[in-house]
A and B are shown apart, each in its own frame.
Chain A
Amino acid sequence: MTETPLIRLSALTKVYGSGQAAFQALKGIDLTIQAGEFVAIMGPSGSGKSTTMNILGCLDTPSSGSYEFMDIHVQKLSRNQRALLRRHFLGFVFQGFNLLARTTALENVELPLIYRGEDAATRHGAARAALEQVGLKGWEHHTPAELSGGQQQRVAIARAIVTHPAVLLADEPTGNLDTKTSQEIMELITAFNREKGITVLMVTHEPDMAAYARRIIRFVDGHLESDSRKEEAA
């Protein structure tokens, strides 16, 4: 294994607050992730799994340590450069969907393409294709309020993958969904990982959902506790 890892964290820490009230959420994380992996990040509440996820997604900044993404030292980037990194390489799926309210599925999916400066025709085509891939053909003009939770999460997935990101970051993507819908969403995410080669990083506390991943990382109390790879079923 001599190829450059997609993501490399070394001695990463994160401290919230200061002085007496300071809380060390991450106490030195070392982690390497290769392109194309499907990684589930597990752990109890407050173990630092979401904090790690937010730092990996450039939504938050570490207190110390280094984060290299495709050999880029992310901690040296400016706010705008981190935004551009998100724009071009990352896609997000959240527990609460985080779609724009009163905005159609199509316009929600188009949004990242608008920031990329794509023209209207390209945007429409790509957004329709993405919605079709997540099984929402025919729902383009429905707003989030008119869609079920599972459908909303599918729109969110379509919005995340419409830019063909290198990494899909999913923070408890099935946390608000019932078991059957959760499985459908997981199968969708797995398919994007297997077929499109999109690296998936997923935070979850449900072992059933983590079972879809090929690598499971456990956090306890700001440390990495275990890192296990599942052998590919032949």
Chain B
Amino acid sequence: MLWNTLLLALRAIRRNLMRSFLTILGIVIGVAAVITMVTLGNGATKSVSDQISSMGSNLLMLIPGQRFGPGGGGAPNFKFTDVEAIRNQISGAEWVAPVVNKGATAVYQANNWATVVTGTNNDYFPAGNWELAAGRTFNETEERAGKAVCIIGETVREKLFGGQSPVGSEIRIKQFSCEVIGLLKGKGQSAMGSDQDDTVMMPLRTVQRRLSGSQDINRLTVSVSNSASIDGVKNQLTLLMRERRNIGESEDDDFRVMDTRQIAETLTSTTKILTMLLGAVAAVSLLVGGIGIMNIMLVSVTERTREIGIRLAIGALEREVLLQFLIEAVVLSSIGGLIGIVLATGASLFLARLMSVPYLFDPGINLLSFVFSAAIGVLFGFFPARRAAGLNPIDALRHE
């Protein structure tokens, strides 16, 4: 009986190609949309959280003034003595790196590239999760004397050196020549969308003397050791800096201590909201696909009711008719669901590459959208049939 019913179901699918196609299409679109959107949303969230963890999640940033960004509202910059004071007085500060940024053009032979030169110390690398792909970091003499040495990022290497190995070569920054002693491993885009690898790093003193021409430090980056509490170190830093900058008790801070964890949370929560939004849009398309299926099934119910009448009249049992309709609905829904999953996988892989976010296969959403659309297909394919098969054969035959 099962075999014969399967045959009848497949014949019914074949002779109603248009209806079958539209049913499958509704499911395909719904399933593919949901899976693609959620997969891309997950990829984007993953990529943002990856970038944040590449930034280091236990970093504190000190900037002069109360606003984030250049300017700082006229508040004084930091001095090198601040770095030493933090190192000596705050035990929870594991790495303390001063940062001076200066835009400059780097030249190597015929190639030139406008980049940002960062003056800092060796603490900068472990604090920011930077690793060296080749060469070494600064030595003590170079730092103290402000020698013309630099460590370059992956983007700068690519633009200036192409396929060659840069370590040991001399590049020209403004009027001076500078030996490349190291190459950083690529980190890709930052969470804010800028290229972190587009950088040239030099000892702090080199930048102060040759590029910025002042003793000022724009920013301090402090990494908190795992055993210390971030908030504790943050408070200590605030107190220390208030003292060093001679801020009276009634006055506000003229600097700000920022916690990258806060930045991280803000950014990931944004992409999570975005993923939810995409998911909601996709859920609507699943629903629209479902309504499409419902329409097709309900429109064809008159024809199918007569068909059921014919089948009953020539001796089909009610359960044989029902089984046939159930098989039809399951076969169509499964085909639609599987095509949808295949299509979604292809589209997600393609779009993930285009958007340069990682592709993450999410079995949960695949299963969920498959089951949901299959349920719609079975529900609207099967239940009208069940009503029709329960009629007296003559009423089903006369159905208008």
Contacts and interface: CB of A to CB of B under 8 A. Distances in A.
A211 interface: no
Contact of A80 (B314, B318, B397): B318
A117 B314 contact: no
B67 to A, nearest CB: 72
Interface stretch (B80-88, B135-143, B282-290, B303-311): B303-311
A114 B306 contact: no
B16 interface: yes
Interface string B70-100: 0000000000000000000000000000000
B312 interface: yes
Given A60-B394, A117-B1, A88 B8 contact: no
Contacts of B8: 114
A59 B392 contact: yes
A102 B16 contact: yes
B152 to A, nearest CB: 71
Nearest to A162: B314
Contacts of A172: none
A100 B307 contact: yes
B7 interface: yes
B314 A111 contact: yes
A112 B314 contact: yes
Contact of B318 (A83, A94, A99): A83
Given A59-B397, A102-B16, A103-B15, A114 B313 contact: no
B8 to A, nearest CB: 6
Most chain B Cβ neighbours within 10 Å, of A58, A90, A99: A58
Contacts of A87: 314-316
A80 B317 contact: yes
Interface string B302-337: 010011011111111111100000000000000000
A21 interface: no
Contacts of A91: 314
B377 interface: no
Contact of B315 (A94, A101, A115): A115
Contacts of A86: 312-315
A150 interface: no
Given A54-B394, A83-B312, A87-B314, A114 B307 contact: no
A58 B316 CA distance: 13
A195 B299 CA distance: 45
B393 interface: yes
Interface in B19-34: none
A8 interface: no
Nearest to B1: A117
B392 A98 contact: no
A200 B320 CA distance: 28
B303 A114 contact: no
Given A100-B307, A101-B303, A84 B317 contact: yes
Nearest to A143: B15
Nearest to B392: A60
B397 A159 contact: no
Contacts of A90: 315
A83 B317 contact: yes
Nearest to B16: A102
Contacts of A116: 315
Contacts of A64: none
Contacts of B309: 98
A176 to B, nearest CB: 15
B342 to A, nearest CB: 29
Contact of B4 (A57, A83, A117): A117
A102 B15 contact: yes
Contacts of A117: 1, 4
Contacts of A159: 314
B11 interface: yes
Contacts of B314: 86-87, 91-92, 111-112, 115, 159
18 contacts: A59-B313, A60-B394, A80-B317, A80-B318, A83-B316, A83-B317, A83-B318, A84-B315, A84-B317, A86-B314, A98-B306, A98-B309, A98-B313, A100-B15, A103-B11, A114-B4, A115-B316, A115-B320
Interface of B: 1, 4, 7-8, 11, 15-16, 303, 306-307, 309-320, 392-394, 397
Given A59-B393, A83-B317, 19 more contacts: A54-B394, A57-B313, A59-B392, A59-B394, A60-B392, A79-B318, A80-B318, A86-B312, A87-B316, A98-B397, A102-B16, A107-B11, A111-B311, A112-B314, A114-B4, A115-B314, A115-B320, A116-B315, A159-B314
